[in-house]
Structure 1
């Protein structure tokens, strides 16, 4: 059953704009023209054709300025984004200029409208909720966006307006390509005005759906939020490949609710087992659903963006599903834990990943004495103890224990020596209720493993001492990274203009520099070994 078929690629119109020797090399070549993606022409280099699975040179003669001028004379005018097109086609020609503004390179990209690309997402599109598409360049985001506009306008008979920044969705010229169906297209005079055209579309044309390609600036993100608040369905794409990428992008994170630093009280920070400054979602997300596109036949869907962001900020596993289209056209939906993907840690976030830890714990369980069978399950309330490290200890020892947030549900409490000596109220409440309180000397993974081993009456084998030493090294690394995360949060929030960190090894300092760079902060190393340390500042 054929699921995808080209409406038209009009590839002959693109070939007509190329110099005759290059065009003839493509037409006479052994490759199927339907697999052609783009033609590259750079001054002084051999012309090159790029296909879906390979590349090949088209001539033994280097590209001349006359060849480039030949193409320019046969296409539309270049806009401020250095993109041009061919009227009533989807082809895109992008220019590379020298320092004086002369075009010295061209990327001639084949544009195609394809039926069936959104079958895998059709139920999401028809739900009326706003959907954001992410994916690497060339994966087919714009093609899916174009097909979405056609389906909504023609088959569902909705009022659809496309905000077409570079005429990439509906093609060049004043008459839009038939690939968008009955949808209307608003052209953008220059990329810097896309946000204004987005608002104009809502105010002037009463759309039910607005389609936007490449949301990339803070003004465009703000305009998208304004549109969503007016009850208009948004279908858009943004720069980034994954939800985590978007979460780490300070410019576009508002699309998924934005992030703010929140300072917790001492009691709440101890109850959570976190730092006092944590990150939380700032507002409802602009887009209700987020889709990560691997290709036209496989996507990862986050059906509830708000919940997914909240879970990521708590280093928990957001609910997601992988959708795959089989050869017979059937759509297979598999619920997955997003921790199978790489979760990038941000300042204020606790590192996590239930399945990853579970698998690591299962691998490590072979190092333990086989005495776990028949152990009574325990519900542990950590007071002042790192929940993240305690979870790792539970997974490593493979014991039947869970962590609870309400002390009323706990069968045991785990706390630190200084909290116990201070007679904290929650510790006293636990003792009054007869709940056992286990006291740790310090907040390290090794201490937690030893305490759990005592509770569950299991023994570590001869590798236990070596693993504890390795864990202590991990703890030192974790503490160093937590310190730089806290410093970054303080500088970003304006709490401090600069922060000097504790002395570290060259390897750890390099990691700290990289984290500062990720958030557009300055950093420098100061002092001499062994007291050399990193300073973070704006």
Structure 2
């Protein structure tokens, strides 16, 4: 029995097919006779469910364990999703009014007859950054976790676009919303100052370094002072770019925010640990 194309025969066997080998025999005269054997492809019902050794194969996996369960009807799944959505909406509604210490709002008249302080409900903005700006600049602002107690909502614009529920709730309670472009100290500062009706200076004033420091340690203050002097003594008056000393990523972020306060552009360049800021004139 000869298989002319071994590779093709193996391929047929792997696909559970029946190969068609040659049968070669030698007759009485010594000549080779070649015949083609026809495979027996008649199915044998008794062989179904048996392996090649004739042993009955048992079902395996989930079918054998009896743990298979019917697929949940589509309507049931839909109802489950609706239930989950309702629960989410309930939790979201509850988040607008978080309990706070009881007490009446304390109001004092501002220089132009405003009612101070202003109660702000922050959304998507770092609370620690807000508190830092309010404390350093001594702004008449109080942060609240209760939307019902708020005079205004201050929200990050990118979050506000995707949060229609907040817009609906604020509109229903007649609470105005002010958007903040980015979660940086300069942007937060400008938003709060506009909210209070404070005139924005055409020329940025000397920055209070306490606004931009996180830990208030000497290394941070030294790096911020370096950036401030570079801006005020070289970049602004002379219109020349300046490169600062290498700093850590955390400190460079503070320097970037300080440069943004002066409405200038900056970027980081170089490889760690020598990566540093370059400040450009307007």
Q: Same fold (TM over 0.5)?
A: no
Q: Give the number of the structure whose residues are more often strand, by fraction.
A: 1
Could you say which TM-score interval applies, normalised by the shorter chain? 0.3 to 0.5
